[in-house]
């Protein structure tokens, strides 16, 4: 166990110029080693002990030691973990693209491709192209173009060039015409059902053998909108082992108005046409995509071959399963329209803006996606790991406060009034806070009659009676050992005077009402704080409608 802890401590020290962040280390250990979760206390004591040892040796030696026991955890300059993220066949530099549909803002699933493309462009030098794939007018949300750019900026991803496919229609038309002229594509007017039946038996439809001239004429009529329900098909192999590859469609007619181009176009390319054409014209060297696209890659190869273009390097990574949030853009949109969700940043959604609102830092998302990398094996996304990384980032600036949810009154008899001055942060100088104890406090816990408890940072008390929502207790003693002997519990509290009305909205969108201690009123919107024994929250709003009310979003424990 010491060995495991040592590598995390060393890494933390190297990341923070010689100062270990014990809580961050704990988070990482628990996320990566679930079997240690039952021994949290023991582990934490070891972390503290080992941290002291590590901090006493020079950084150079720390690095050597880490290289020895866990070379994959050695940190390079710029805080990037060294890992085996390598692209094959890189010449001088790379040109890569991130190609979302502008149907909504980016969500966690998108961030993988965005981050990895950005990472490789930064690693090898080259160009990051944002390509907005908006050739399905039904799946375009006008606001999304801008939201996607904002989201990338938030992730600290620099876009070198932006391409909008709906502005490139003439280019696609021209390439389609060339394919028809070469005899590699044809206009098909068959009923879709009928075509499918033939295709599944490996039989060509009657359109396949039409002359180039006839096809060009029909193509013109498609563009003029005087031919209903026609598609252009690519001639592949009508007996290909995968029926979906057999003469797949590359253009279709669509009369839905396009939010950007209106009714200017009625013939739209399908992605297995526009993607390879653009990948070629933009000089894309490496394409990162999920394994679920392998069949699309196979289809797109036909286009490259017919035009005699050089095929980019394709990397198909495993599927990333993200559970516990909503990622379907259409479901999100529907929910927003029906007012089930408050907006694209509703905490139940997996959008980047929802995560941002909860206090998840872009660096945490970036790092979690780099850790997933481009392995071909499917992976389940670990929220715990994201939270552990985020905790490491936010902990050092998060002020501590007491917060009691569903508050009950507790009256303590026989206790001397006392004012506590507590640090805003256990190991950094972020100021102090004042908690005046005058015998009456709010608590959240359910107490038992005759039970012994300790008001955090104060004294031990014995509960005498409970009347409705009010608990009466008597001062018992100062010594913590007495409490421990009686197996009593430490409870946190806030003085009844000057409490701050606080609402915490959790990841399910539920509201938790309670009181925070008085100094909490000085936080700013956007601050991330830790409610002790409760978790990290981001201050989202301060409403001053008579009495102050602070709205927070829950980040994680
Ligand atoms: Zn046909």
Please tell me whether residues 157 and 279 are part of one structural domain.
Answer: yes
Please tell me whether residues 305 and 340 are part of one structural domain.
Answer: no
Query: How would you class 47 by CB atoms within 10 Å of its CB: exposed for 0-12, middle for 13-18, buried for 19 or more?
Result: buried
Structure-token pair, residue 360: 């998840």
pLDDT digits (tens, 9 = 90+) for 8-30: 899 888 877 788 888 778 877 88
Q: How many whole angstroms from 246 Cα to the centroid of ligand 1?
A: 12
Q: How many whole angstroms from 274 Cα to the centroid of ligand 1?
A: 22
Please tell me whether residues 22 and 49 are part of one structural domain.
Answer: yes
pLDDT digits (tens, 9 = 90+) for 30-57: 877 878 888 888 999 999 999 999 999 9
3-state SS, residue 222: helix
- Kindly tell me if the per-residue pLDDT of 79 is higher than 60: no
- CATH assignment of the domain containing 135: 3.40.50.620
Please tell me whether residues 157 and 305 are part of one structural domain.
Answer: yes
Please tell me whether residues 151 and 280 are part of one structural domain.
Answer: yes
How many Å apart are CA 454 and CA 491, to the nearest integer?
6
- Kindly tell me if the per-residue pLDDT of 81 is higher than 50: no
Q: How many whole angstroms from 201 Cα to the centroid of ligand 1?
A: 14
Q: How many whole angstroms from 196 Cα to the centroid of ligand 1?
A: 10
Q: What is the mean pLDDT of residues 270-294?
A: 97
Q: What is the band of 82 on the pLDDT scale with cuts at 50, 70, 90?
A: very low
Number of domains in the chain: 5
Please tell me whether residues 154 and 175 are part of one structural domain.
Answer: no
- The answer to whether position 464 is within a domain reads yes
Please tell me whether residues 161 and 307 are part of one structural domain.
Answer: yes
Query: Going along 459-546, which residue ranges are E strands?
Result: 460-467, 470-477, 489-491, 493-495, 500-505, 511-516, 528-531, 535-545
Q: What is the mean pLDDT of residues 270-287?
A: 98
- The answer to whether position 46 is within a domain reads yes
- Kindly tell me if the per-residue pLDDT of 67 is higher than 80: yes
Q: What is the mean pLDDT of residues 475-493?
A: 94
- Kindly tell me if the per-residue pLDDT of 77 is higher than 50: no
- The answer to whether position 521 is within a domain reads no
- The number of residues making up the chain comes to 557
Q: How many whole angstroms from 538 Cα to the centroid of ligand 1?
A: 58
How many Å apart are CA 261 and CA 254, to the nearest integer?
13
Q: How many whole angstroms from 54 Cα to the centroid of ligand 1?
A: 73
- The answer to whether position 133 is within a domain reads yes
Summary mean pLDDT of the chain: 94
- Kindly tell me if the per-residue pLDDT of 80 is higher than 50: no
pLDDT digits (tens, 9 = 90+) for 147-192: 999 999 999 999 999 999 999 999 999 999 999 999 999 999 999 9
Residue 242 makes CB contacts below 8 A (sequence gap 6+) with: 295, 298
Q: What is the band of 496 on the pLDDT scale with cuts at 50, 70, 90?
A: very high
> Any idea of the CA torsion for 131, 109, 103, 324, to the nearest 10 degrees?
180
Q: What is the band of 2 on the pLDDT scale with cuts at 50, 70, 90?
A: confident
pLDDT score, position 84: 67
Q: How many whole angstroms from 235 Cα to the centroid of ligand 1?
A: 11
- The answer to whether position 542 is within a domain reads no
pLDDT score, position 75: 57
Please tell me whether residues 185 and 155 are part of one structural domain.
Answer: no
pLDDT digits (tens, 9 = 90+) for 389-408: 999 999 999 999 999 999 99
Name the percent of the chain lying above pLDDT 70: 98
The whole domain housing 296 covers 94-165+272-317
pLDDT digits (tens, 9 = 90+) for 347-375: 999 999 999 999 999 999 999 999 999 99
Distances (CA, A) of 457 to 58, 398, 420, 434, 520: 36, 20, 8, 12, 18
**Maximum distance among all alpha carbons in the chain?**
102
* Complex ipTM: 0.99
Q: How many whole angstroms from 307 Cα to the centroid of ligand 1?
A: 23
Q: How many whole angstroms from 278 Cα to the centroid of ligand 1?
A: 27
**CB 326, CB 386: distance < 8 Å:** no
Please tell me whether residues 184 and 249 are part of one structural domain.
Answer: yes
For residues 328-339, b (16+ Cβ closer than 10 Å) or e, as one string?
ebeebbebbeee
Q: How many whole angstroms from 194 Cα to the centroid of ligand 1?
A: 8
Query: Going along 407-499, which residue ranges are E strands?
Result: 408-413, 418-423, 432-437, 440-443, 452-455, 460-467, 470-477, 489-491, 493-495
Q: How many whole angstroms from 296 Cα to the centroid of ligand 1?
A: 22
Q: What is the mean pLDDT of residues 474-482?
A: 95
pLDDT score, position 3: 86
Please tell me whether residues 337 and 458 are part of one structural domain.
Answer: no
pLDDT digits (tens, 9 = 90+) for 90-143: 998 999 999 999 999 999 999 999 999 999 999 999 999 999 999 999 999 999
How many Å apart are CA 169 and CA 173, to the nearest integer?
6
C-alpha angle 103-346-373 in degrees, rounded to nearest 5: 65
Q: How many whole angstroms from 190 Cα to the centroid of ligand 1?
A: 4
pLDDT digits (tens, 9 = 90+) for 532-542: 999 999 999 99
Q: Which range has the worst mean pLDDT, 16-30, 169-183, 235-249, 275-289?
A: 16-30
How many other CB atoms sit within 10 Å of the CB of residue 448?
Answer: 12
Q: How many whole angstroms from 238 Cα to the centroid of ligand 1?
A: 12
pLDDT score, position 368: 96
- Kindly tell me if the per-residue pLDDT of 83 is higher than 70: no
Name the percent of the chain lying above pLDDT 90: 86
- The answer to whether position 51 is within a domain reads yes
- The answer to whether position 511 is within a domain reads no
């Amino acid at each position: 166990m010491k060995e495991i802890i040592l590598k995390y401590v060393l890494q933390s020290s190297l990341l923070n110029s010689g100062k270990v962040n014990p809580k961050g280390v704990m988070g990482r250990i628990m996320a990566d080693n679930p079997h240690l979760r039952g021994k949290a206390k023991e582990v934490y004591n070891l972390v503290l002990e080992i941290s002291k040892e590590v901090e006493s040796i020079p950084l150079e030696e720390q690095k050597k030691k880490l290289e020895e026991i866990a070379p994959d955890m050695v940190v390079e300059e710029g805080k990037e973990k060294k890992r085996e993220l390598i692209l094959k066949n890189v010449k001088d530099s790379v040109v890569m693209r991130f190609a979302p549909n502008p149907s909504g803002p980016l969500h966690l699933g998108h961030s993988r491709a965005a981050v990895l493309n950005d990472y490789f462009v930064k690693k090898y030098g080259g160009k990051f192209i944002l390509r907005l794939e908006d050739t399905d007018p039904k799946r375009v949300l006008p606001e999304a173009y801008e939201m996607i750019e904002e989201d990338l900026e938030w992730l600290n991803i620099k876009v070198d060039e932006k391409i909008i496919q709906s502005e490139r229609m003439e280019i696609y038309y021209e390439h389609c015409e060339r394919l028809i002229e070469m005899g590699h594509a044809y206009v098909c007017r068959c009923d879709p059902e009928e075509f499918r039946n033939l295709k599944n038996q490996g039989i060509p439809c009657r359109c396949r053998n039409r002359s180039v001239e006839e096809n060009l004429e029909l193509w013109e009529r498609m563009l003029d909108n005087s031919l209903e329900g026609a598609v252009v098909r690519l001639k592949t192999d009508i007996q290909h082992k995968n029926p979906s590859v057999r003469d797949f469609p590359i253009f279709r007619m669509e009369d839905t108005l396009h939010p950007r181009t209106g009714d200017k176009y009625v013939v739209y390319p399908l992605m297995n046409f526009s993607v390879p054409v653009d990948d070629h014209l933009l000089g894309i060297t490496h394409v990162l995509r999920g394994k679920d696209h392998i069949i699309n890659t196979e289809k797109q190869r036909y286009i490259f071959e017919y035009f005699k273009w050089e095929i980019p390097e394709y990397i198909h990574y495993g599927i990333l399963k993200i559970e516990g949030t909503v990622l379907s853009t259409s479901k999100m949109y529907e929910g927003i329209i029906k007012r089930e969700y408050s907006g694209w940043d509703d905490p139940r959604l997996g959008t980047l803006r929802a995560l941002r609102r909860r206090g998840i830092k872009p660096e945490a998302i970036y790092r979690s996606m780099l850790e997933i990398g481009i392995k071909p094996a499917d992976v389940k996304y670990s929220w715990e790991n994201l939270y552990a990384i985020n905790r490491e980032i936010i902990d050092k600036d998060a002020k501590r406060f007491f917060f009691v949810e569903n508050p009950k009154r507790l009256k303590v008899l026989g206790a001397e009034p006392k004012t506590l001055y507590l640090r805003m942060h256990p190991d950094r100088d972020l100021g102090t806070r004042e908690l005046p104890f005058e015998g009456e406090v709010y608590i959240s816990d359910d107490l038992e009659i005759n039970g012994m408890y300790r008001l955090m940072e104060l004294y031990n008390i014995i509960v005498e009676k409970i009347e409705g929502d009010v608990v009466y207790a008597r001062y018992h003693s100062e010594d913590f050992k007495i409490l421990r002997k009686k197996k009593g519990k430490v409870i946190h509290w806030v003085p009844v005077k000057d409490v701050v009305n606080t609402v915490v909205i959790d990841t399910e969108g539920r509201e938790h009402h309670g009181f925070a201690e008085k100094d909490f009123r000085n936080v700013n919107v956007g601050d991330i704080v830790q409610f002790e024994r409760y978790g990290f929250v981001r201050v989202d709003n301060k409403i001053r409608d008579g009495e102050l009310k602070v709205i927070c979003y829950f980040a994680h424990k």
